[in-house]
């Protein structure tokens, strides 16, 4: 009797396990199919970029437990108040408390150099300070060096001793990039339900502060452009303009006209990619649109940046940035990309304009629009960018269908006026043509439990570029 029961029990367990496994397999069938299609269809271009110049923002991210740091600094909990800029330890305490209580991520500039250095040196003495590469340019360089070790890559951006140590040795950091002390961005993390005085954090997030002279004033921008003359790169990647947003409007405009003049001098044969980052000042964004976007060959941005650009420069769906909820609608995003390409791209009316490529990335899908006489291998470029998003967020070596999920609309249109479509998982990369431009879209397999989200956009854009082929500049 006992033997029989045991037998039944074992059989049940085996059957249960088999059913459970089958369920798992069925659950991620779509993801498996997309990954398989990517592996089949994504190919490197015939002629790859081999000599890169990347700049100009780089720093060390120092991550510490925020409350522990405040205690170490002998700061006691007190009022909460939202200061725009931090001059004292009280300002730090009050502003930290303000966002800690609300549980929202925030970043504030620290205005006192000496005091900030003291805070950093205390932070370094905590039990487990973690140092990471920070700044879009350094993150882009790091990604390319990891995936394409044979590529020659020079980084012009502020690099102190610590960052130098963190960067892969295959990245060349020229003398002009060296600074005596690292620009440190202090990331004060806290956990959900953590307590600071009378406050309890409703979610886990972070408060960031830095005194960052080099990056906030783009002090290396002249050196960056001068470097081109002797180095002769075949691709230039520029980022960090958003950090100028903290400067007075006159300073901002002066820097921008300098950048504009320098961009005009870059030989037509060398494409320049500009990676944008989040900005809130409409006037500054309009200035970038008017003066810079038509002077670069390629632009990388996310949904906030693209829709805000359209708002600032009066493009289509110009109020959309205020109402986006969840994932942005594909046809609206693609309308805006087309408008950017037409408005800032080369044409009979604007023969000196250079823009021929826009790489859009958001959590759930990416689109790249190109001028086909300037770029090729576009479907692979967009596919490679989406594939790396899931890999990096999950912090794995290759796509894992169990860890990711497709979050794509069941029905969508590719542009306004298009018919309704649905995704074919066996052919996830969709291509179309509009007004002489070629578009490619790929869904992202979104990481279910992301571990690494810092620099995700940078990795996506870097990968997309390395899978793109620059055929020729339309102007040359």
Supply 92's token pair.
């730090």
Cβ of residue 39: shortest distance to ligand NAG, in angstroms? 14
Between residues 390 and 428, which has the closer beta carbon with respect to ligand NAG?
428
**CB 29 → ligand NAG: shortest distance, Å?**
14
435 exposure class (CB count in 10 Å sphere: 0-12, 13-18, 19+): exposed
Nearer to ligand NAG (CB atom), residue 96 or residue 365: 365
For ligand NAG, the closer CB: 442 or 461: 442
Q: Where are the beta strands (DSSP E) in 14-145?
A: 51-55, 59-65, 85-86, 106-110, 130-134
* C-alpha separations of 146 from 141, 169, 453 in Å: 9, 10, 17
Residues 57, 220: Cα–Cα separation, whole Å: 9
Place of tokens 């055929």: 471
Q: Which residues contact 40 (CB under 8 A, 6 or more apart)?
A: none
Q: What is the CA radius of gyration of the chain?
A: 24
How many Å apart are CA 426 and CA 30, to the nearest integer? 9
> By C-beta, is 88 or 424 nearer to ligand NAG?
424
Question: Which of 224, 240, 302, 291 minimizes the C-alpha distance to 264?
Answer: 291
Residue with tokens 């295959």: 170
Other C-beta atoms closer than 10 Å to the C-beta of 184 total 26
- Shortest distance (Å) from residue 412 CB to ligand NAG: 15
For ligand NAG, the binding residues (CB under 6 A) are 424, 426-427
Q: State the residue for tokens 């370094």.
A: 124
Residue 405 φ then ψ, to 5°: -145, 145
Active-site choice (80, 182, 335, 458): 458
Of residues 226 and 424, the one with the C-beta less far from ligand NAG: 424
User: Residue 374: exposed, middle, or buried by beta-carbon count in 10 A (0-12, 13-18, 19+)?
Assistant: buried
Residue 40 vs 180, nearer CB to ligand NAG: 40
- Nearest-angstrom CA–CA distance, 265 and 261: 7
Which residue do the tokens 């020229």 mark? 174
| Residue 37 C-beta: closest distance to ligand NAG, Å | 8
Q: Which residue is nearest to ligand NAG (CB)?
A: 424
Return the number of the residue (118 or 421) whose C-beta is nearest ligand NAG: 421
Dist. CA 441–CA 379, nearest whole Å: 7
* Full DSSP string of 288-348: HHHHTGGGSSEEEE-HHHHHHHHHHTT-TTTTHHHH--SSPPHHHHHHHHHHHHHHHB--S
Active site (annotated) includes residue 400:
no
Contact by Cβ (8 Å): 239, 52? no
Check residue 234 and report its DSSP letter: S
CB of 425 to ligand NAG, least distance (A): 8
Helices (H), 354-423: 378-394
Comparing CB distances to ligand NAG, the nearer of 191 and 426 is: 426
Three-state SS for 417?
A: coil
Which residues form the catalytic set? Answer: 458
């Amino acid at each position: 009797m006992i033997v029989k029961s045991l037998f039944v029990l074992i059989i049940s367990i085996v059957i249960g396990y088999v059913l459970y496994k089958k369920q798992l397999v069925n659950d991620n069938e779509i993801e498996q199919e997309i990954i398989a299609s990517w592996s089949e269809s994504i190919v490197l271009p015939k002629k790859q970029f081999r000599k890169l110049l990347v700049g100009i923002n780089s720093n060390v991210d120092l991550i510490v437990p925020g409350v522990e740091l405040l205690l170490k600094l002998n700061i006691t909990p007190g009022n909460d108040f939202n200061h725009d800029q931090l001059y004292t330890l009280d300002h730090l305490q009050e502003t930290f408390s303000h966002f800690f209580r609300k549980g929202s991520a925030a970043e504030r500039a620290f205005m006192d150099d000496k005091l900030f250095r003291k805070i950093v040196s205390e932070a370094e003495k905590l039990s487990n300070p973690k140092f990471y590469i920070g700044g879009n340019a350094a993150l882009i360089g790091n990604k390319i060096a990891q995936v394409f070790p044979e590529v020659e890559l020079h980084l012009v951006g502020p690099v102190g001793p610590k960052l130098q140590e963190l960067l892969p040795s295959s990245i060349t950091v020229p003398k002009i990039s060296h600074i005596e002390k690292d620009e440190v961005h202090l990331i004060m993390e806290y956990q959900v339900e953590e307590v600071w005085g009378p406050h309890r954090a409703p979610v886990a997030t972070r408060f960031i502060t830095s005194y960052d002279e080099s990056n906030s004033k783009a002090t290396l921008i002249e050196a960056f452009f001068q470097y081109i003359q002797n180095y002769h790169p075949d691709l230039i990647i520029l980022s960090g303009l958003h950090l100028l947003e903290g400067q007075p409007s006159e300073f901002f405009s002066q820097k921008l006209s300098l950048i504009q003049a320098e961009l005009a001098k870059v030989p037509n044969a060398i494409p320049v990619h500009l990676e944008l980052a989040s900005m809130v000042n409409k006037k500054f964004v309009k200035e970038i649109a008017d003066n810079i976007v038509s002077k670069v060959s390629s632009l990388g941005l996310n949904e906030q940046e693209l829709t805000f650009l359209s708002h600032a420069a009066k493009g289509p769906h110009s109020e959309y940035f205020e109402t986006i909820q969840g994932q942005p609608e594909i046809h609206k995003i693609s309308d805006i990309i087309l408008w950017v390409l037409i408005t800032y791209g080369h044409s009979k009316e604007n023969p000196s304009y250079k823009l021929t490529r826009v790489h859009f990335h958001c959590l759930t899908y990416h689109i790249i629009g190109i001028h086909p006489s300037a770029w090729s291998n576009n479907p692979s470029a967009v596919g490679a960018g989406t594939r790396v998003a899931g890999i990096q967020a999950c912090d794995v070596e290759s796509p894992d269908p169990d860890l990711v999920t497709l979050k794509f609309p069941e029905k969508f249109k590719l542009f306004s006026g298009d018919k309704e479509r649905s995704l074919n998982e066996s052919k996830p990369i969709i291509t179309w043509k509009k007004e002489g431009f070629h578009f490619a879209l790929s869904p992202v397999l979104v990481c279910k439990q992301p571990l690494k989200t810092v620099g995700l956009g940078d990795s996506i854009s870097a990968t997309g570029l390395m899978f793109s082929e620059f055929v020729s500049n339309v102007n040359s």
